[in-house]
Copies of this chain bind each other. A is one copy, B any other.
């Protein structure tokens, strides 16, 4: 076990390990080696072992890793051992599609509030949630103890909505709007930027 700071790259791989391990767990697989994990996820086995050893000695030499234990440990590391309420800002088509992915988040996280500034949408139901107006963002986040915000609004509104989330005390944001938003240093923003991903892919095509 090492005490050094954990690298961002390692943190980003943990959810990928977790998902794979959960699949093994469901299939009642008891143990797994770094080699097997690596083969399935296209990682180097050394990297797998190094990532995991940052957090403790989870494996057994000559045996591998106990799947159930490893799942529990990674959940703890990621703060997923207790429920995290999430909100969604922007109830357009993409937002509505995402709200259906609640079950992919498993018990760990759940979208528990949806906001939109379009008066026509306010009051509409998505599953068991009523779309609320943007000016209820701060109060609702406090009441429901929401910790993470997902931004699905058009780019012109993304900074404004970000400011509201920050004001409400949110420290973690997933931004689907194709624009870099400004936040205080203690707020972590991840980007889900699929038009960028597509444009990046174009680079790898042969010149026509």
- List chain A positions with a Cβ less than 8 A from chain B: 11-12, 14-16, 18-19, 40-42, 77-80, 82, 84, 86, 92-94, 96-98, 100-101, 104-105, 108-109, 147-148, 150, 171-174, 176, 178-180, 188, 190, 192-208
Q: Is the CB of B109 within 8 A of A198?
A: yes
In Å, the complex CA distance between A94 and B176 comes to 13
Closest CB-CB distance, A75 to chain B, in whole Å? 9
Q: How many copies does the complex hold?
A: 2
> Given that A105-B195, A180-B40, A196-B19 are known contacts, is A148 also in contact with B202, CB under 8 Å in the complex?
yes
For A202, what are the chain B residues with a Cβ–Cβ distance below 8 Å? 78-80, 84, 108-109, 148, 172
In contact, A14 and B199 (Cβ under 8 angstroms)? yes
CB distance A201 to B178 under 8 Å?
no
Contact sample, A vs B, 20 pairs, CB 8 Å cutoff: A11-B203, A14-B200, A15-B195, A15-B196, A19-B195, A40-B180, A78-B202, A80-B202, A92-B97, A94-B98, A96-B97, A98-B194, A101-B194, A104-B195, A105-B195, A105-B198, A105-B199, A108-B202, A147-B205, A148-B198
* Bound CA span A172–B204, Å: 7
Q: Which residue of B lies closest to A96 (CB)?
A: B93
Given contacts A196-B12, A199-B108, contact A42 B180 (CB under 8 A): yes
How many Å lie between the Cα of A195 and that of B148 in the bound state?
12
| Residues in chain B near residue A190, CB distance under 8 A | 197, 200-201
- Chain B nearest CB from A175 CB (Å) reads 10
**Structural contact, A101 and B195, CB atoms closer than 8 A:** yes
The contact of A97 among B97, B150, B197, by CB within 8 Å, is B97
A203 x B14 contact (CB < 8 A): yes
- Report the bound CA distance from A144 to B55 in whole Å: 50
Q: List residues of chain B with CB within 8 A of the CB of A15.
A: 195-196, 199-200
